[in-house]
Amino acid sequence: MTAETPAADFQEEADDFSGISDHGKAILLASILIVALCGIVYELIIGAVSSYLLGNSIYQFSITIGFFMFAMGIGSYLSQFIRNNLIEKFVIIEIILAIVGGICSITLFLTFPFSPYMYRTVMMAFIITIGTLVGLEIPILTRIMAQAEGTRKSIAKVLSFDYIGALIGSVAFPLMLLPSLGLVRASFAIGLINIFVALLTIIFMRNYLRFPKIMMATVLFIAVSLTGLILLGSRISAAAQQHLYFDQVIWKKDSPYQSLTMTQSYGNNDLRLFIDGHLQFSESDEHRYHEMLVHTALAPSGPRENVLVLGGGDGLAVREISKYTDVMRIDLVDLDPEMTKLGSEFPPLVKLNRDALADSRLTVYNMDAFNFIKDADLKYDRVIIDMPDPHNEAISKLYSVEFYAMIARKMTDEGIVISQSSSPYFARNAFWCVGNTLAEIFPETRASQVTTPSFGVWGFQTASKRAGRLDADYNFDGVKTRFWTPEVAKAANVFGKDISKPVPGSKGDPVNTIFDPIIYHLYLKDVTTSAIKRSPES
């Protein structure tokens, strides 16, 4: 017999698939494509949930993909021990995968509030289980196809359809599944796709099954259950959010960039914004943060006609800027259009920001701040940077020497820039790294702090293009505030011993660059150390 003779290739198989029709072969190839699609989407869902809840997306996706591939290797190895009833075993694997994969997202969300350690254990269990099941499927399908039409053709087709399916899944997840379904319903939907593959296999390959009626009933029951979960997805997500946030969730949106959630407490109507599960502001004390952020930079005398805000799509910083009548132009740059839409259209937030995003002086740009500042054709008198903490390497570029150098080139000679810089208490080294990095570009820098009940001690770094500029008299007449005064601003420059600037190491004060994102590592180390100090065990 030649190498293309199926019987010669897989004599050890107890099953004989040489008689599978062309229609059956097409079903198997389609199954390979869908199996690959589902596998990659499960990876992305677990990685996205972990990024939302734990932060540090590069780390979370690296761990997820690495262990998923490892588990696939385990599954591929174990497949050699499956010799009989391959199609039946494939259907069983699809059923288990549909159940485990379908519930992975909601289970992770429900687990997180109990303990981060419990979350990581459950996350790893899902990664290993789903990866092993996916790893089992491809070798089994390859062996079936090899008997049906020969090893050379089957391997070529299996690998081709496997890669195509992975491409479709990786593109469909951010462009279609996540925006339209969200993470919870997306996992239910992918589970339903796995069940659909099992259903087609039972229908067209029933002659190779020992208990087709029982398997059909099982598959139909699971399909109906998953369909019901998809239809009830909004209610299930709402229940999970209540479990996650404790307060009442009043608005939720998953954009291509982040997960946005607005909550309101039952007792005092405290409005809160969460991005990727992390608190951004609380209505009860946000004025302390935003007044310190804005007025510290705008109150000093001098030109302030043109103001740039990087981040701050909620409109709360713009609310404070709009109090200055001599400001002629405000440019707001926020990557996510859903964030600025929330700030301009969601009634509770519009009330809180006093409809600031409708200010006639304001222009909104939904684009990456790095690209905006690189191409900006206007020079600004004041720059407000209200970006997320540098909890991953992608965001750390917005705290780099290169970024600050670009900002300096787009500032007037009397320009002042201020950046939120995380907490000098919980992220002490990262906070002072921002100041060190600004000092590489600007001749004058100054650190300040404010205490907010929601966040604790929070810090800012201010810099100017001309030395002595930060000591200018305040032009603050007629501007109404709830917290900030010139006296408060001066007192905010004083730091206690436990949050003051650390003594430089052997290499001097750390400076963050795009090529060496040291602030990201400092931030992770600071936050981890703070968490250990606050844990009950310690």
Residues assigned a catalytic role: 386
Per-residue three-class SS string for 418-446: EEECCCCCCCHHHHHHHHHHHHCCCCEEE
Distance CA 42, CA 48 (A): 10
Torsion of CA 44, 400, 414, 355, to 10 degrees: 20
| 251 vs 261: CA distance, rounded Å | 6
Q: Give the CB-side neighbour count of residue 285, counting CA atoms within 13 A.
A: 12
- Residues 499 and 446: their CA atoms lie apart, in Å, by 15
Q: Would you list the DSSP string of 323-365?
A: T-TT--EEEEE-S-HHHHHHHHH-HHHHHHTTTGGG-TTEEEE
Q: Are strands 380-386 and 444-452 parallel, antiparallel or unpaired?
A: unpaired
Name the amino acid, one letter, at 113. P
Separation in Å, CA 192 to CA 163, 198, 482: 21, 10, 53
> Strands across the sheet with 329-333, in order?
362-365, 329-333, 306-311, 380-386, 411-420, 456-464, 444-452
Amino acid identity of 491? A
H helices of 18-150, where? Answer: 22-54, 57-78, 86-111, 116-149
Greatest CA separation found in the chain?
Answer: 96
Between CA 13 and CA 22, with CA 16 as vertex, the angle to 5 degrees is: 130
Tokens of 216: 């059909």
H/E stretch holding 257 reads none
Using an 8 Å Cβ cutoff, are 36 and 22 in contact?
no
φ/ψ (deg, to 5) at 482: -100, -20
C-alpha pair distances (Å), 422 with each of 339, 388, 425: 21, 8, 9
> What would you report as the CA-atom Rg of the chain, rounded to the nearest whole angstrom?
28
Q: Are 173 and 39 within 8 A, CB to CB?
A: no
- Written as six digits, the tokens of 102 are 């379908």
Q: Both tokens of residue 330?
A: 């405000």
What is the H or E stretch that residue 287 is in? helix 286-298
CA distance 328 to 324: 9
**DSSP 8-class letter at 15:** S
SS3 assignment, position 305? coil
CA dihedral 433, 437, 443, 447 (to 10 degrees): -30
